[in-house]
Amino acid sequence: MMIIAGNFKTNHTRSSTLSYAKGLNQFLRDRQFGAEVYLFPPMSALAYDDFSHFSIGAQNAYPVCGGAYTGEIGLDQLNELQIKTLMIGHSERRVLLGESDQICQRKFEFFAHHGMNIFLCVGESLEVRQAQKVREFLALQLSGIDLSYARLIVAYEPIWAIGTGVSASLIEIQETHAILKDLGCSRVVYGGSVNPQNAREIMSLDGVDGVLVGGASLRLESFCEIIENGEMK
């Protein structure tokens, strides 16, 4: 079963996300796809109707139940909204907001202890790839993570391919997913300029268990096409 997730990042409003989610739910209900579908909207759009054919996830949370952490949300808020899925360590948070591997490990440990579904994002810079240090870099990002945790999905997103329109080559994707599998990751999805034109080829590769889609998920029609491609791989 393919895992197909859409990350809105800081796009869409509460009202536009609700409209999108209703359309996505209808699409999945009508076609009875076998894919495991997730949607990560902005924080302001997390609380709305329950959708039975896909799961809503949070793009970030702080590893506490609650407390004096201005600007963050914790487990209490996620539980109230019935959010059971969380993204940790997206490269934009690592690069722009300085989230370290240690912070990501703390988040993983806390939310795994509370049974959350976790998308853990990993990926190297172009400099690391050119230096042929990809395996060592990914191993460091996974250090301290319980890779046997049954609710873990590792999202491989090479930093140099996120939002650039340039996806990694099929050979690069397959080789890197093989590295992650060898390191002990059970379920690994690819993210990095995934779109309707390349999604089917990417999802057909050995070791690729699905995709995490950024910009191409912002339009419902585009995201639905990617889901269809996952069914036809």
Q: Which residue has the higher pLDDT, 160 or 175?
A: 175
Determine what percent of the chain is predicted with pLDDT higher than 90: 87
- Our CA dihedral for 163, 166, 168, 171, rounded to 10 degrees, sits at 160
Mean confidence (pLDDT) of the chain: 94
pLDDT of 145 higher than 80: yes
User: CA 163, CA 16: separation in Å to the nearest integer?
Assistant: 22
Residue 160 confidence class, pLDDT cut points 50, 70, 90 = confident
Choose, from 90, 92, 124, 177, the residue flagged as catalytic.
Answer: 90
Beta strands 188-190 and 152-156, pairing class:
parallel
Query: Catalytic annotation on 113?
Result: no
Choose, from 36, 92, 99, 157, the residue flagged as catalytic.
Answer: 157
Query: Catalytic annotation on 90?
Result: yes
Which residue ranges make up each domain of the chain?
A: 3-231
Contact call for residues 9 and 214 (beta carbons, < 8 A) = yes
For the segment 11-55, what is each residue's pLDDT rounded down to a tens digit? 999 999 999 999 999 999 999 888 999 999 999 999 766 789 999
pLDDT of 232 higher than 70: no
Q: Domain 3-231 class? A: alpha beta
